[in-house]
Structure 1
Amino acid sequence: MDSSDDVSAYVQRLELFRRHDYERDQMIQAYKEKCDDYNNEVESRRMWQTKANNFCKEVLALNQANESNPFVFAVIDGDGAVFQEDLLKRGAEGGAEAGYLLWTEIKNYITDAYPEAASQDWNIVVQVVLNMDGLAKKLHASGIVPNTPTERTLAEFARGFGRAQPLFSFIDVGSGKESADHKVRELLRWMVRVNQCKHIFFGPCHDAGYLPVLEPYKLDSTVSSRLTLIETTPAEEGFKSLGFHKINFKSVFKSDKLPERVVVERQPIQRLPPPTVPASQLPPPKQLPVQHTVSSNSDVSLKTETPVELPRVLSPPSNVNGGPNWSTLTKSVAPKAIDISSTKKSGSRKYYLLNADSQRVDEPLPKNDPSAEKRFKDRSSRYGNLCNAYHLHNNCKSDDCQYHHGERLPPGELLVLKQKSRGIPCSQGSDCIDVNCMMGHHCRWLGACNHSWCRFGDYHDIDSKPRLKVFEDGSTQIVNKL
């Protein structure tokens, strides 16, 4: 073998060694990458496991918070649900007994309704919403409770009611039905969303005005299953159709309404007999024409005159001793004109809209005509601001109104005025129940509002989808089902 062959063999062996070194390096590199991937997976798994453990702890804490301090809530309209007379008459002592009886009735009901739950640990919260002064006067007029500083009063009853049960209270909202209604509605809407509230007792079944508040919950099983109506006086028909369970606490509340007006017996007035006067001394009766109004088929009142005799006036006899005579008693009879003309029937019924949360929502208005907007702007520049009450409701009651009345607006300009009125927030907000209110009850852009300062403040997160129509007579109509 020559030297060239030896060199070639060494070169081949060197290349083989280099190839083996390269393969070894590639294997080592792949091994390192696998190790890095493994380490990353370990770290990632540990991170996610840590997060999962933290989330489990948070969920457990939330569940424990939801299950902690469970309670039962009862809201009662005290103006309609009146306590038993024998309890009211005993002042603070009767209030304490009323609180205990009501607590016992609710406790027994909850124990039967939730046999598998630890209901003995549930607190019972009761709030009686009422006009204290108005009810006190009504009870005093009915002869049930004195309303004097020195005698037992409704205020003493309320203090005893609250002292005996620390979670029971009377809430005096003053005069005005809207005040009590607003308080009761908001308490109910709040409690149905509180997880710790296990059951709700709702007590204003005497007032059909609360039907729109309860209607959205009729088909919501999560609410209807834990809502019970307290029936004191016979419930209105609308409450019976809701399907909620009803209960009577007869040992606590009266089952009949207080009289609207107390009839006071008066002693009959003794009158002296009329003097006897010969008929020949009586002057002949005078006749006066009296108008009678009769309606014809064409709604035109026809007036006729017929004579009516006036009563004769007796001449007073003279006193035999020359004393004073009796006073002459006269009594005129003025027949009333009776209008029997036919009355026109009203047009379509007025209504307002409520969403699923019993919040008022505004019905969208059509877009304004640009030409009508220009005419309205010219009119406002010429006469000043227009009176909303006059043009929108035709009932401006101000004797010295500072806004322009004038001729009635055409439909296009009337729509412009409605749009402008809708931009003014109603003082009642989403709790307004006035069917004639043309002001705004929430921001028209809702969550899409990009104004840095909006008049409607907190009224941007309202669900604008209508759920109910509420007519002016209190009746309701479902617009969209849940």
Structure 2
Amino acid sequence: MLNDSEIDRDAGQLAAYRTSDTLSDILDKYSTLIQEYRRLKSDYEEERDAREKYKQVAKSQERNPFVLVLVDGDGYVFNEDLIGRGPDAGSTAAQVLNDAVRQSLRKKGLEHCQVMVRIYANVAGLSKALNKAGGSVGAEKRSLAPFIASFNRSYGLTELVDAGELKENADFKLRALLNLYAENGQCKHIYFAACHDVGYISDLTPHMGNTNRFTLVDAHCIRFQKEFTKLGMAVEHFPGVFRNSPLDLATSYTRGSNGVIPPEAPRGPQGGSPPTPSPSSTTAPAAAPRKKIVCQTFPLGKCKFGAQCRYSHGDDPRKAGTTATPTHNPSHSVSSSSTSWRDTARLDSAAALAAIKKLPSKKSLPEGHVAVNKNGFRLDPYVQPSTNEAVNRLNTRTRRVRVCNNFHLNGQCPAGDHCEYDHSPLEDDLKAALETLARSTPCGRRGACRDAKCTKGHICQLLDCKSRGGHGFCKIPFSSHSEDMTLAQYVPAIRSRVSPTTNNTSAEGSSIYEDEELDDEGEAHTPSGITLAGED
């Protein structure tokens, strides 16, 4: 048995061991606390730096605040009294617009903001339209240039920009600026003046109901589309800034009852007199007098002949027969057929499809005859649109060897077994793609062609054609797009002298075409390639 001294010694050792074990645990916990402290300190420093950066960014956004005024100048046209005020007319117009915006800003408490104005317009087309509407500008192609120069030098942030003659250029620029500044901190408010075009709805929808940041601008010269009222944004007028009536060129660029531009009589080489009809086609209705035929290039601002043009530019725009339809604002009404001079040149795809489907079918064509309209203009048979898959397969096949148009589309080839092009069988969908491709290359004889075996195009069957306001590349002459596609009669064909290699096509370009084509200015050129819909 242990004596008392041994027991005391063992008890002391146990106490010492317990003390030593507790100290180790405390040291471990202390080390963990130090690590957590260092992590929290690092997070705090990052948060502090981010806070400082945020303060700097917020401070910079409060520096040089501005409001943006976006205007589609093709629809929102300045008041005629402002445009016709001589060399300083542009400065006056800029001042009137700036004053109207300033007055609106005072109501919003944003009078301290600078005003940035961006107006985009087709200057050539707008100049022509204004000249015909009342002569407030000259007849030159860009007679608005002095007005624009005066406008642009009036204020540092005020610009009226020529967007070019393509229909969608102004839309493209306005959308880009709208998307850029919609979330910009320095831009405190946006005045949007393009409410005649529903194409902008998708760009404004993400900001629906944001009245603190967006204001829509209405004007008497446009038809305010009701879709914009559903956005829940404020709508304002700028009195005295824009025209009190639409800039309407309906008399010089009208559509028929079916939505198609009225036909123009076919022209011969060099844009001269209509081609002399063959004896077999003399029963076709006679072409209208030259001055009653509407010029197809004037509404696009491309007519270089001005008052000397042999075709009509419209005698009196004020006589345009339109029916007034009220907008959401009862204080004014505008023509439902003239939202803007630019939009009258657009054909929707449904109307284009309805017009194209009036073409005769290939099966209905009598042997040895061609179809013509009431003007005696050659009509092609309707071609069913090809699928992208068929076009790709045709492309793959023609990379090896070109196929023969005469053999596959007409059933026979003058060269027979000596033809250098492929006569091997084609599937039906590839034949349709080949015919679409062949018809996309214009015939040099245009509507005067009477060759039943001609596989080239005489009218356009492309729904998205750029000449109808779309985006698809088209080589068919512009004047041919205005022809009536309604069948009038079948006339006996006249066989032309065509070489065996004339009507052979590659899916990636034109082959050896021997006859020349005529462009819209009457100048000859040879085709350099063919593009299908969706390939441009």
Q: TM-score, normalised by structure 2?
A: 0.47
Give the deviation of 1:241 after TM superposition.
4.9
- Which residue identity does 1:235 align to in structure 2? R
Match of residue 130, structure 2, among 139, 145, 154: 139
Give the deviation of 1:25 after TM superposition.
0.9
Question: 1:11 is matched with which residue?
Answer: 6
Q: CA, structure 1 residues 348+85, in 2 after alignment: closer, same or farther (shift >3 Å)?
A: closer
Question: 1:396 is matched with which residue?
Answer: 440
- Which residue identity does 1:252 align to in structure 2? V
Match of residue 166, structure 2, among 169, 176, 199: 176
Give the deviation of 1:22 after TM superposition.
0.8
Match of residue 128, structure 1, among 107, 119, 134: 119
Question: 2:343 is matched with which residue?
Answer: none
Give the deviation of 1:261 after TM superposition.
8.1
Match of residue 193, structure 1, among 183, 191, 216: 183
Q: CA, structure 1 residues 174+387, in 2 after alignment: closer, same or farther (shift >3 Å)?
A: farther
Task: Supply the distance in 1 between the matched residues of 2:131 and 2:227 (Cα, whole angstroms).
Answer: 30
SS in 1 for 2:152: helix
Task: Supply the distance in 2 between the matched residues of 1:132 and 1:435 (Cα, whole angstroms).
Answer: 21
Q: Does 1:235 align with 2:223?
A: yes
Q: CA, structure 1 residues 40+433, in 2 after alignment: closer, same or farther (shift >3 Å)?
A: farther
Q: CA, structure 1 residues 215+41, in 2 after alignment: closer, same or farther (shift >3 Å)?
A: closer
Structure 1 gaps of 5+ residues are 264-289, 294-344, 351-364, 401-405, 409-425, 438-482
Larger mean CA deviation between 35-44 and 174-183 belongs to 35-44
Question: 1:260 is matched with which residue?
Answer: 249
SS in 2 for 1:254: coil
Q: CA, structure 1 residues 260+221, in 2 after alignment: closer, same or farther (shift >3 Å)?
A: closer
Task: Supply the distance in 2 between the matched residues of 1:259 and 1:374 (Cα, whole angstroms).
Answer: 47
Aligned pairs (5 A) from 1:13-32: 13-32=8-27
- Which residue identity does 1:165 align to in structure 2? Y
Match of residue 159, structure 1, among 144, 149, 155: 149
Larger Rg: 1
Q: Does 1:250 align with 2:234?
A: no
Task: Supply the distance in 1 between the matched residues of 2:26 and 2:90 (Cα, whole angstroms).
Answer: 84
SS in 2 for 1:175: coil
Whether the 8 Å CA contact 1:217–1:223 is kept in 2: the answer is: no
Paired residue total: 304
Question: 1:226 is matched with which residue?
Answer: 213
Aligned pairs (5 A) from 1:22-421: 22-112=17-107, 114-115=108-109, 119-141=110-132, 142-146=134-138, 154-206=144-196, 210-215=197-202, 217-218=204-205, 220-221=207-208, 223=210, 226-232=213-219, 233-239=221-227, 241-243=229-231, 244-258=233-247, 260=249, 381=400, 383=402, 390=434, 395-399=439-443
- Per-residue displacement from partner, 1:438-476 (whole Å, max 9, x unpaired)? xxxxxxxxxxxxxxxxxxxxxxxxxxxxxxxxxxxxxxx
Whether the 8 Å CA contact 1:389–1:396 is kept in 2: the answer is: no
SS in 2 for 1:120: coil
Give the deviation of 1:247 after TM superposition.
2.4
SS in 1 for 2:69: strand
Task: Supply the distance in 1 between the matched residues of 2:98 and 2:105 (Cα, whole angstroms).
Answer: 11
SS in 1 for 2:190: strand
Whether the 8 Å CA contact 1:127–1:170 is kept in 2: the answer is: yes
- Per-residue displacement from partner, 1:51-86 (whole Å, max 9, x unpaired)? 221222233333334444332111212222222223
Question: 2:272 is matched with which residue?
Answer: none
Q: CA, structure 1 residues 230+388, in 2 after alignment: closer, same or farther (shift >3 Å)?
A: farther
SS in 1 for 2:153: helix
Cα RMSD for the two superposed structures? 4.6
- Which residue identity does 1:248 align to in structure 2? H
Q: CA, structure 1 residues 182+104, in 2 after alignment: closer, same or farther (shift >3 Å)?
A: same
Q: CA, structure 1 residues 38+96, in 2 after alignment: closer, same or farther (shift >3 Å)?
A: same
Give the deviation of 1:211 after TM superposition.
0.6
SS in 1 for 2:160: strand
Q: CA, structure 1 residues 220+154, in 2 after alignment: closer, same or farther (shift >3 Å)?
A: closer
Seq. identity, % = 21
- Per-residue displacement from partner, 1:405-441 (whole Å, max 9, x unpaired)? x9x9xxxxxxxxxxxxxxxxx9x9xxx984879xxxx
Task: Supply the distance in 2 between the matched residues of 1:376 and 1:393 (Cα, whole angstroms).
Answer: 11
- Per-residue displacement from partner, 1:373-404 (whole Å, max 9, x unpaired)? 9999667656469799755688423449xxxx
Q: TM-score, normalised by structure 1?
A: 0.52
Task: Supply the distance in 1 between the matched residues of 2:223 and 2:129 (Cα, whole angstroms).
Answer: 21
Which one scores higher on RCO, CA 8 angstroms, separation ≥ 6?
Answer: 2
Q: CA, structure 1 residues 164+216, in 2 after alignment: closer, same or farther (shift >3 Å)?
A: closer
